[in-house]
């Protein structure tokens, strides 16, 4: 290892490069902006054009021409927008093989004839020449087209909207071209124009001033007073606080909703654990017997109407058990059964009548005293 420590490598510094305002596009080989009419490329194209072969409207529409049809469109093109681009697109596609030349008026002529522009002449030239439909740009274009200008630029047709433009006593500056069959009409785009864009800015003037102040522009650059600057900056601060409050409130609401969803999931899981299908079946099985016992009516008393005990599980024949002295020491019952019982089972009136009506069935060997005792007992039982 070397005694000297290596110096730490500093991170690369990214420099933001900007294209110069004025630049040469010769190094761009794939796509270039349209040349100006004074550029070499435009001059060569103009020299190759055989302007002695005049092209009529029918020839241009049919596409049967020996050269490209040179169409000219002009305008101010301030704050270049989609309405301008659509107008140039129509002019480019009005015939099958068009070489589109666009004239742009300079600042002096425009301010005198139409009014103040937002963009200067150079910005308007650059905006037009970077439109892909444009093949050539004419700087310092005239307000009205003379025959010399048309011949110099070898113009076959002029494209513009069909609205009459009044100037210097002329009802329409494009009237002479319409009469000669050199005018082709394009359509304006509804709802968009440079005047509409300027009107939007003027309508929301305070908002745009505050916007530029927030982006670092000074009050002097925006041409506002000291008090107006303070007012606008205070409004920006208030709007910033409102936006921050809304963001924080949205964040808090989101956290509350998230926590509620988590708690609701826990509550549902706990509820299902306590009162799920298996748990409910278990509870039902435990309480079913109690519910049936509570809902069933009470049972009837077990005794008979006369208070005699009943033998629930025995349907054997009824018999009368007699003392040993009445039966001569024999354990036989009156009906001959050998089983001895302690009480009468389900005594009926018919069985008693049958026994009472047949005293002669008793043993003949008993003496008269026994018969008398038995007769007395029998009478007593009949009376009871």
Give the integer Cα–Cα distance in Å for 156 and 100: 10
CB atoms within 10 A of CB 136: 22
Can you give the pLDDT at residue 247? 81
Can you give the pLDDT at residue 24? 74
| Band of residue 9 on the pLDDT scale cut at 50, 70, 90 | low
CA 79 to chain centroid, in Å, comes to 37
| Band of residue 349 on the pLDDT scale cut at 50, 70, 90 | very low
- Residue appearing with tokens 């506002």: 224
Give the integer Cα–Cα distance in Å for 280 and 283: 5
Cα dist from 127 to 35, 53, 84, 85, whole Å: 12, 33, 10, 10
CA 123 to chain centroid, in Å, comes to 44
Can you give the pLDDT at residue 154? 97
- Indicate yes or no: pTM above 0.75: no
Can you give the pLDDT at residue 180? 93
Give the integer Cα–Cα distance in Å for 318 and 276: 61
Give the integer Cα–Cα distance in Å for 320 and 340: 9
| Band of residue 302 on the pLDDT scale cut at 50, 70, 90 | low
Lowest pLDDT segment from 29-38, 245-254, 283-292, 293-302: 293-302
Can you give the pLDDT at residue 310? 46
CA 363 to chain centroid, in Å, comes to 112
236 pLDDT more than 90: no
Give the integer Cα–Cα distance in Å for 280 and 271: 11
The DSSP line for 195-227 is HHHHHHHHHTHHHHHHHHHHTT--HHHHT--HH
**φ and ψ of 111, to 5 deg:** -65, -35
| Band of residue 350 on the pLDDT scale cut at 50, 70, 90 | very low
Residue 102: strand pairing partners: 73, 137
Q: Are strands 98-104 and 183-186 parallel, antiparallel or unpaired?
A: unpaired
Q: What is the pLDDT of residues 64-80, one digit of tens each?
A: 899 999 999 999 999 99
> Comparing C-alpha atoms, which of 326, 334, 333 is closest to residue 369?
326
Contact 160, 183 (CB under 8 A): yes
CATH class for the domain made up of 40-194: alpha beta
Lowest pLDDT segment from 50-54, 255-259, 288-292: 288-292
Residue 15: strand pairing partners: none
> Comparing C-alpha atoms, which of 106, 92, 102, 91 is closest to residue 129?
102
Residue 138: strand pairing partners: 103
User: When comparing pLDDT for 343 and 52, which is higher?
Assistant: 52
382 pLDDT more than 50: yes
158-186 burial, b at 16+ Cβ within 10 Å, e below that, comes to bbbeeeeeeeeeeeebbeebeeeebbbeb
360 pLDDT more than 60: no
| Band of residue 16 on the pLDDT scale cut at 50, 70, 90 | low
For the chain, give the mean pLDDT.
Answer: 78
User: When comparing pLDDT for 327 and 230, which is higher?
Assistant: 230
Contact 76, 140 (CB under 8 A): no
- Residues 6 or more apart from 192 whose CB is under 8 A from it? 81, 82, 83
Can you give the pLDDT at residue 13? 54
Can you give the pLDDT at residue 295? 73
User: When comparing pLDDT for 342 and 99, which is higher?
Assistant: 99
Contact 105, 143 (CB under 8 A): yes
Give the integer Cα–Cα distance in Å for 198 and 57: 38
**Span 239-260, average pLDDT:** 80
According to DSSP, residue 360 is labeled: G
Contact 79, 45 (CB under 8 A): no
Cα dist from 283 to 84, 273, 275, whole Å: 82, 13, 9
* 161 sits in which H/E element: strand 157-161
Can you give the pLDDT at residue 14? 52
Range(s) within the chain of domains with CATH label 3.40.50.620:
40-194
Give the integer Cα–Cα distance in Å for 298 and 316: 30
> Comparing C-alpha atoms, which of 262, 348, 334, 246 is closest to residue 304?
348
């Amino acid at each position: 290892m070397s005694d000297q420590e290596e110096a730490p490598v500093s991170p690369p510094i990214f420099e933001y490069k900007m294209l110069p305002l004025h630049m040469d596009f010769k190094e761009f080989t794939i796509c270039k902006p349209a040349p100006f009419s004074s550029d070499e490329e435009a001059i060569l194209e103009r020299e190759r054009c055989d302007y002695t072969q005049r092209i009529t409207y029918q020839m241009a529409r049919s596409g049967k021409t020996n050269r490209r049809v040179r169409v000219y469109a002009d305008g101010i093109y301030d704050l270049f927008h989609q309405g301008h681009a659509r107008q140039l697109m129509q002019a480019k596609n009005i015939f099958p093989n068009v070489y589109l030349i666009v004239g742009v008026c300079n600042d002096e002529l425009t301010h005198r004839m139409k009014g103040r522009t937002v963009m200067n002449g150079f910005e308007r030239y650059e905006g037009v020449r970077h439109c892909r439909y444009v093949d050539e740009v004419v700087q310092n274009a005239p307000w009205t087209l003379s025959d010399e200008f048309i011949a110099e630029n070898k113009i076959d047709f002029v494209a513009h909207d069909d609205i009459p433009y009044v100037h210097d006593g002329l009802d329409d500056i494009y009237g002479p071209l319409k009469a000669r069959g050199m005018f082709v009409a394009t359509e304006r785009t509804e709802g968009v124009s440079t005047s509409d864009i300027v009107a939007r800015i003027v309508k929301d003037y305070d908002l745009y001033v505050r916007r530029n102040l927030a982006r670092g522009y000074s009050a002097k650059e925006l041409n506002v007073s000291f008090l107006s600057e303070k007012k606008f900056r205070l409004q920006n601060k208030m709007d910033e606080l409102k936006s921050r409050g809304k963001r924080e409130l949205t964040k808090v609401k989101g956290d509350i909703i998230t926590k509620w969803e988590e708690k609701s999931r826990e509550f549902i899981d706990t509820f299902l654990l306590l009162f799920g299908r298996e748990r409910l079946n278990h509870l039902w099985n435990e309480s079913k017997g109690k519910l049936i016992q509570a809902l069933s009516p009470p049972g009837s008393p077990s005794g008979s109407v006369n208070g005699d005990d009943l033998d629930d599980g025995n349907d054997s024949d009824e018999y009368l058990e007699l003392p040993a002295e009445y039966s001569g020491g024999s354990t036989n019952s009156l009906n001959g059964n050998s089983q001895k019982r302690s009480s009468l089972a389900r005594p009926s009136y018919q069985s008693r009548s049958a026994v009472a009506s047949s005293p002669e069935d008793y043993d003949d060997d008993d003496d008269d005293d026994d018969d008398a005792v038995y007769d007395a007992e029998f009478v007593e039982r009949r009376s009871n």
